[in-house]
Structure 1
Amino acid sequence: MGYVLQCVIAPARVLDPRPPFTNAVVVGLDQGLSLMPMTPDLYDEVSRGDHSFAPAHLFPPGFEDVLSAWSATAPVAYVEAEYFGGSGSQFAAVWQNGALALGPLHLTPNEPRPAPGWSPISHALRHLGASRQNHDDEFDALRLGRHRHTEDWLPPEHQA
């Protein structure tokens, strides 16, 4: 079974209350972080300008300016993961103090799967202050697996 995860992750104080986008949905994670999934409607709402950054599959054109502005008070990450049958890809980038601070980091389907804790998403989560605690990695520590299938947990009014 496969999954796709495409979202912004940041300290709760950055994303709560909800960002000023009609189509934004923010959910709390463990360790004081929050997640905002990149839904098709949110993608359309925040897209602007050219695709000068264009690092990932569902990264909206011009969205790096928003993430840069949000990162003035705390680091902000954009992450993507897509897996099917044990093979997949990951992307992560972190903005801090108004600039790109980490990445973009990529893991392609052709690369060997990294040891737990060495994936692009784990690096980004550590940059946000997450710790793996007694789990294999930060992804598991934040229980991000429960958000792998956005359509399964997103309120119906925010689904495409």
Structure 2
Amino acid sequence: MRLFGVAGWKNAGKTGLMERLVTEITGRGLSVSTVKHAHHAFDVDHPGRDSHRHRQAGATEVLVASGHRWALMHELRNRAEPPLEMLLAKLSPVDLVLVEGYKRERHPKIEAWRQAAGHALIAPEDPTIRAVASDVVLPDLPVPRFDLDDTGAIADFILSEVGL
């Protein structure tokens, strides 16, 4: 499975870049799936719905399906967060999986960086960062630098890196 990440600190532009990359790469005829890491509790379900009631009753997994989509929700019930590799194994085959977050994992990544966010760059200390997409010119980077809004060039770079 071809895998490439978008990493960076909060408010660096990761989600917007991911969204633009998915649009750009699928527009080129390739299939893309995404994995998004969340550092907080989240829910894709709503109180009062049958599936939510199943989970509240103690179900470990609840699968909801319709003619348009299906979703599998898995409750960890105080067990450890599963590793990225385990989650990737659950995905159907595609040309490319883009991963948002998981900045400490060892897959190749591009770092999204905005000057106004006020965080230090990850790239100089992390060999898994293969390029930086930023809103300002950054001299003396150990990796290529792209304008954060140059989605086409960033997509070209990622596809070249993964051999597509």
Whether the TM-score (by the shorter chain) exceeds 0.5 is no
* Larger RCO, structure (CA 8 Å, separation 6 or more): 2
TM-score normalized by the length of structure 2: 0.28
